[in-house]
């Protein structure tokens, strides 16, 4: 260490600042007399100055003490410390000028200091005091740098967040990083330097990594372009570079960022897309000041919807779910995140008509977002009766009550598995859609469909993460299987947008982007975890599960959708349902009493002719 571990005593700092001020005064006089130091000149000037020097020292000590420039930790000198020093020296100069005017006009006719000396003394004192502090800071930063093998790092983002990341890394004695450069999407910044560190354009990433043997990239951009970030991460994974990220500024502890908060990038960051632009004014007109009911509020989508809706300040938000513990967690989270939000937590089952009647009668909701459902394909394939009770009977209860209590809009959250369903779960959601779309009343019924949601309960990514934590293997049902993915915030935002744009009777489908091979997803998650496939962990092919498709239906086809004003929301073209469908659905629900799964699935296929089972015991019902 080049500096003592303990803080320098404050009195030493005060003496040093005063000494540098006196040195500045001396230099100012030297320059005033063109560096000539003849004896008679020194004697004459000292005769005038000697009467002022005591006052000079006293003023400096008092002003420096008032501005507390000795209080800052010198090794952590900041721009705020610099500002205080400039202010203190400037105040001293003003006092000297004012006192000089008093002396010249009321005492012996001499100024305290010549004007040229005052100006130069201010400049020299500021430079010397500030310069000494930054010199100590530089020595300290060099002394705390790890002397072991440094990890060569690129910081992605040459903005404020990137700069803060650089400074935080340099201050952290435990960090063994050596910053090679900044990476940025702005071509105008390429070739420039930021605090001595070169800025490279993202197009040169591969070359920079290979020529400098970079081992880690830290993403410090708070809101990066999703396509650019994906390309950067893909390149890093290909070259074996570890990728980490700086958290959102909201997560910084007391507004301060620490190197301990740098974390590994997640697969969600690679699959997310550009932020969705919402018609917030239209949404605000429909939701603000209204009573809104969210069913399945404790689930992944339901809780996401609750948070999105809360931002629009409804008069009351009703959170309905049968899951007690998740509801309790959501309740506590909302109290922290939205302290002004008025909400009620209701534990109840949508299958209970009496309980739902009480909810609607008590709260009189203006808007209903229906997210409650059973969604796991293999489980519903084994338990068709439960799919019928929750997804169909539960929806019928809510739809009928929405009409009875004159709900303004009812937004049903469905799934892309309802398109040409191959399983009981998808068919049950399609039947629920049919019931809602064919119910007559003042309520406007709107259906939204989308695919898999990243990080939702029971989705593939949490499963893979759990398997990674346990040492593997990661299980994939088939090497060919692909899925569309969307983040929870994306899905919830599009539900809000679609709900407010609908006038009743529409089924909206979301642009899910490009499909992703599940096995590629598994491989990337292994890479992001710093593991090597085949060496540290394996992937196991288990075979398709009952009712599972190899490829999900692509909803955004021109032949079965129409565009809307929002580029990511399309309107589905649906066939006209005959008037007997409601009666058939009621008859299906009545079959529950017989507890015969085959009869129930047969009835479901009658209601949804395109329901063709796949890899399921119910395939026998499709044989002609």
Q: Are strands 569-572 and 561-563 parallel, antiparallel or unpaired?
A: antiparallel
Joined tokens for residue 205: 């990433």
Question: What's the gap between Cα 94 and its chain centre?
Answer: 50
- Pick the more confident residue, 1 or 328: 328
Residue 516, phi then psi, degrees to nearest 5: -125, 135
Q: Bridge partners of 448?
A: 413, 508
What string of H, E and C letters represents the secondary structure of 341-368?
CCEEEEECCCCCHHHHHHHHHHHCCCEE
What is the pLDDT at residue 493?
85
From the candidates 417, 524, 549, 603, give the one annotated as an active-site residue: 417
Q: Which residue has the tokens 């459902």?
A: 373
- Confirm if 474 and 464 have CB atoms less than 8 A apart: yes
Q: What angle is formed at CA 309 by the lines to CA 248 and CA 495, rounded to 5 degrees?
A: 95
405 confidence band (pLDDT: 50, 70, 90): very high
| Residue scoring higher pLDDT (560 or 182) | 182
Query: What is the pLDDT confidence band of residue 111, given thresholds at 50, 70 and 90?
Result: low
The mean per-residue pLDDT over the stretch 452-477 comes to 82
For 624, how many CA atoms within 13 A lie in the half-sphere containing its CB?
1
Average pLDDT over every residue of 346-360:
96
Adjacent-strand bridge partners of 517? 482
Distances (CA, A) of 16 to 12, 23, 395: 6, 10, 78
Asked whether the bond before 216 is cis by omega within 30 degrees of 0, the reply is: no
Write down the pLDDT at residue 371. 94
Give the other-Cβ count within 10 Å of 47's Cβ.
10
**Residue 572, H or E segment:** strand 569-572
Query: At 245, is the pLDDT very low, low, confident or very high (cuts 50, 70, 90)?
Result: confident
- How much is the pLDDT for 195? 82
Residue 83 has a CB neighbour count (10 Å cut-off) of: 11
Q: How open is the CA angle 511-517-518, to the nearest 5 degrees?
A: 110
At residue 415, the 3 state secondary structure works out as coil
Instruction: Enter the pTM of the model.
Output: 0.69
Cα–Cα–Cα angle for 199, 205, 210, rounded to 5 degrees = 110
Say yes or no to pLDDT of 557 above 50: no
- Whether residue 316 contacts residue 344, with contact meaning beta carbons closer than 8 Å, is answered with yes
Spatial CA neighbour of 548 closest among 605, 488, 482, 491 = 482
Give the contacts of 74 (CB within 8 A, at least 6 positions apart). 8, 13, 133, 136, 137
With contact defined as beta carbons under 8 Å apart, do 436 and 394 qualify? no
pLDDT of residue 1: 44
Q: Please check the confidence at residue 525 and state whether its pLDDT lies above 80.
A: yes
Lowest mean pLDDT among 522-531, 560-569, 593-602: 560-569
Q: Which helix (H) or strand (E) holds 517?
A: strand 516-517
Examine the pLDDT at 447 and tell me if it is beyond 50.
yes
Higher-pLDDT residue of 268, 282 = 282
**Better-predicted residue by pLDDT, 503 or 404:** 404
Say what percent of the chain tops pLDDT 90. Answer: 27
Domain ranges within the chain, ordered by starting residue? 10-144, 151-265, 280-451+488-512+553-619
SS3 call for 150: coil
Q: Is 539 helix (H, G, I), strand (E, B) or coil?
A: strand
Instruction: Assess whether pLDDT exceeds 70 at residue 549.
Output: yes
The DSSP letter of residue 536 is: T
Q: What is the pLDDT of residue 260?
A: 64
Would you identify the CATH topology of the domain 151-265? Rossmann fold (3.40.50)
- According to DSSP, residue 394 is labeled I
Integer Cα distance of 446 and 233 in angstroms: 38
Taking the C-alpha atoms of 509, 513, 519 and 521 in order, what is their torsion angle to the nearest 10 degrees? -110
Structure tokens that stand for 120 in this block: 């130069």
Nearest to 233 by CA among 553, 527, 445: 527
Q: What stretches of 398-518 adopt beta strand conformation (E)?
A: 409-413, 444-449, 452-454, 474-476, 482-483, 485-487, 507-510, 516-517
d(CA 36, CA 39): 9
Residue 52 pLDDT: 72
Whether 282 is catalytic is: no
Answer yes or no: CATH 3.40.50.2300 is held by domain 280-451+488-512+553-619.
Answer: no
Residues for the chain: how many in total? 624
Per-residue pLDDT band for 39 (boundaries 50, 70, 90) equals low
Provide the mean pLDDT of the chain.
82
Among the residue ranges 39-53, 303-317, 577-591, the one predicted with the least confidence is: 39-53
Cα separation of 216 and 214, whole Å? 6
H-helix or E-strand spanning residue 227: helix 226-238
- Stretch 441-460: mean pLDDT, rounded? 82
Q: What is the pLDDT of residue 125?
A: 79
Q: What is the CA radius of gyration of the chain?
A: 35
Among 461, 445, 498, 484, smallest CA distance to 308 is for 498
Of residues 413 and 23, more confidently modeled: 413
Number of CB atoms found within 10 A of residue 416's CB = 22
- Is 280-451+488-512+553-619 in the same CATH topology as 151-265? yes
Average pLDDT over residues 27-53: 66
Look at 578 and 472; give whichever has higher pLDDT: 472
pLDDT digits (tens, 9 = 90+) for 195-238: 888 899 988 989 988 888 888 888 888 777 777 888 888 888 88
Check whether 485 has a pLDDT greater than 90: no
The DSSP-derived string for 3-59 is S-SSPPPHHHHHHHHHHHHHHHHHHHHHHHTTT---HHHHHHHHHHHHHHHHHHHHH
For residue 76, pLDDT beyond 90: no
Q: What confidence category does residue 624 fall into, taking pLDDT thresholds of 50, 70 and 90?
A: low
Looking at residue 475, its pLDDT comes to 92
Q: What is the mean pLDDT of residues 588-609?
A: 89
* pLDDT at residue 79 greater than cutoff 70: no
Could you tell me the CA-to-CA distances from 256 to 253, 261, 544 in Å, in that order?
5, 10, 48
Q: How far apart are the C-alpha atoms of 128 and 136, rounded to whole Å?
A: 12
Q: Are strands 177-184 and 151-156 parallel, antiparallel or unpaired?
A: parallel
The answer on pLDDT for 363 being more than 80 is: yes
Of 147-151, 292-296, 311-315, 324-328, which range is least confident? 147-151
What pLDDT does residue 559 have? 42
In which region does residue 13 sit, left (phi positive, over 0), alpha (psi from -120 to 50) or beta (all else)? Answer: alpha
């Amino acid at each position: 260490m080049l500096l003592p571990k303990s803080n320098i005593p404050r009195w030493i700092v005060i003496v040093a600042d005063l000494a540098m001020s006196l040195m500045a005064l001396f230099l100012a006089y030297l320059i005033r007399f063109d560096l000539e130091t003849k004896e008679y000149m020194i004697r004459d000037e000292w005769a005038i100055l000697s009467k002022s020097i005591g006052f000079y020292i006293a003023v400096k000590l008092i002003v420096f003490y008032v501005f507390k420039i000795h209080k800052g930790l010198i090794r952590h000198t900041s721009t705020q410390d610099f500002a205080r020093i400039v202010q203190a020296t400037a105040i001293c100069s003003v006092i000297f000028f004012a006192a000089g005017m008093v002396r010249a006009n009321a005492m012996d006719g001499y100024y305290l200091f010549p004007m040229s000396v005052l100006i130069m003394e201010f400049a020299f004192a500021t430079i010397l005091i500030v310069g000494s502090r930054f010199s100590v800071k530089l020595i300290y930063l060099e002394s705390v740098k790890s002397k072991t093998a440094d990890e060569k790092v690129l910081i992605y983002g040459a903005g404020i967040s990137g700069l803060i990341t650089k400074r935080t890394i340099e201050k952290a004695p435990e960090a063994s990083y050596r910053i090679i450069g900044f990476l940025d999407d702005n071509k105008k910044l390429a070739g420039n330097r930021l605090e001595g560190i070169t800025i490279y354009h993202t197009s040169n990433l591969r070359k920079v990594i290979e020529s400098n043997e970079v081992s880690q990239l830290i993403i410090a951009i708070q809101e990066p372009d999703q396509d650019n970030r994906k390309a950067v991460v893909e390149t890093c994974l290909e070259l074996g570079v570890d990728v980490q990220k700086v958290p959102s500024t909201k997560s910084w502890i007391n507004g301060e960022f620490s190197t301990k908060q740098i974390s590994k990038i997640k697969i969600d960051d690679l699959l997310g897309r550009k932020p969705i632009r919402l018609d917030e004014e239209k949404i605000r007109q429909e939701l603000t000041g209204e009573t809104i009911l969210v069913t399945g509020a404790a689930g992944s989508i339901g809780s996401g919807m609750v948070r999105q809706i809360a931002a629009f300040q409804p008069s009351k938000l009703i959170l309905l779910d049968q899951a007690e513990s998740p509801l309790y967690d959501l309740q506590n989270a909302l109290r922290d995140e939205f302290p002004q939000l008025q909400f009620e937590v209701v534990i109840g089952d949508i299958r209970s008509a009496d309980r739902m009647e009480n909810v609607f009668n008590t709260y009189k909701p203006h808007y209903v977002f229906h997210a409650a459902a059973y969604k796991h394909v293999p489980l519903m394939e084994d338990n068709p009766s439960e799919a019928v009770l929750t997804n169909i009977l539960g929806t019928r209860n809510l739809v009928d009550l929405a009409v009875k209590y004159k709900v303004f809009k009812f937004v049903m959250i469905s799934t892309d598995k309802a398109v040409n369903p191959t399983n009981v779960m998808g068919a049950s959601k399609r039947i629920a859609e049919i019931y809602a779309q064919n119910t007559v009343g003042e309520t406007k019924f709107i259906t939204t469909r989308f695919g898999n949601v990243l990080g939702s309960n029971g989705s593939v990514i949490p499963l893979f993460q759990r398997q990674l934590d346990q040492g593997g293997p990661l299980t994939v049902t088939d090497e060919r299987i692909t899925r569309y993915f969307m983040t929870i915030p994306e899905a919830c935002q599009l539900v809000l947008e679609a709900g407010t744009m609908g006038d009743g009777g529409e089924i909206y489908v979301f642009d899910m982007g490009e499909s992703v091979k599940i096995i590629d997803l598994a491989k990337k998650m292994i890479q992001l975890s710093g593991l090597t496939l085949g060496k540290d962990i394996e992937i196991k092919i288990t075979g398709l599960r009952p009712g599972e498709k190899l490829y999900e239906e692509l909803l955004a086809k021109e032949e079965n959708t129409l565009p809307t004003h929002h580029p990511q929301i399309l309107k589905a073209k649906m066939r006209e349902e005959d008037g007997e469908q409601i009666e058939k659905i009621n008859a299906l629900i009545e079959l529950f009493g017989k507890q015969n799964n085959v009869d129930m699935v047969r009835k479901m296929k009658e209601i949804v002719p395109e329901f063709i089972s796949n890899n399921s015991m119910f395939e026998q019902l499709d044989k002609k």
